[in-house]
Amino acid sequence: MNSKYFNELYSKLRKDKKTFAILIMGMAGILLILLSGSGGNEKESVPSDFQQMLVKSEAEMSESLEKLIENIDGAGKAEVMLTFESYGETVYAHNNEENFSPDGETDYMKEYIIIDGNNGENGLKLKVTAPEIKGVAVICQGGKNPVIKEQIVSVVSALFNISSNKISVAAMAK
């Protein structure tokens, strides 16, 4: 394929901003997946079944927060988006062993502790951390009113233990 073909394809994609944005987000997602290997670290990326549960939990958290905000006097209809710093992690128990050789080099060996579980053998989990919320965006009908804005920021800040500068409240378009 020649560069003329790619230039034409690129210019068509630039004109269709929605398709271009989806393509860019898809490529960024693939890049993040490729770069997220655990690298033998004791902190392991979250298993896929747990991730699926978290995605479901994300939607449920957003929906619950929307309902909560809609119950604030004057807030009206609300839409909420949560962003996450991390989706949690699992830390497994392990034994470390150091071997010192005569030439001064040190070899490290890490051995994970395996237990026999219901679904076969699994690593012994020491800790599973919850997802960490990075920011919250709220769009509601009463978002222009500074008193309502402050109430929403206060509720969200207390609920998720995040600072108010990580919470944005805006008025909903009519």
> What total of structural domains would you count in the chain?
3
Is there a single domain that holds both residue 100 and residue 29? no
Q: Are 76 and 45 contained in the same domain?
A: yes
Q: Are residues 157 and 143 in the same domain?
A: yes
Are both 142 and 169 inside the same structural domain? yes
Give pLDDT, residue 71.
Answer: 94
Q: Which amino acid is at 19?
A: T
Same domain flag for 77 and 5 = no
- Whether residues 108 and 139 share a domain: the answer is no
Per DSSP, the three-state class of 70 is helix
Task: Give the model's pLDDT for residue 143.
Answer: 92
Write down the pLDDT at residue 30.
75
Same domain for 112 and 164: no
Amino acid 117: pLDDT: 66
Residues 85 and 135 in one domain: yes
pLDDT tens track of the chain, all 174 residues? 566 766 676 677 667 767 666 767 767 777 677 666 544 444 444 455 555 555 557 778 888 899 999 999 999 999 999 888 776 677 777 777 777 777 777 777 777 777 776 766 677 777 777 777 889 999 999 999 999 999 999 999 998 889 999 999 999 987
In this structure, the answer to whether residues 85 and 95 fall within a common structural domain is no
Domain that holds residue 45: 41-89+129-174
Both 78 and 140 in a single domain? yes
Which residues have a Cβ under 8 Å from the Cβ of 24 and sit 6 or more positions away?
A: none
Q: What is the pLDDT of residue 92?
A: 76
Amino acid letter, residue 145? N
* CA 170/CA 87 separation, integer angstroms: 26
For residue 92, give the H/E element and its range.
strand 90-92
pLDDT score for 44: 46
φ/ψ of residue 133, rounded to 5 = -80, 130
Q: Which residue has the tokens 């206060």?
A: 154
User: Are 168 and 135 within one domain?
Assistant: yes
Identify whether residues 3 and 73 lie together within a single domain.
Answer: no
Other C-beta atoms closer than 10 Å to the C-beta of 46 total 18
Please state the φ and ψ torsions of residue 44, each to the nearest 5 degrees.
-110, 145
Residue 34 CB neighbour total at 10 angstroms: 8
pLDDT value, residue 50: 55
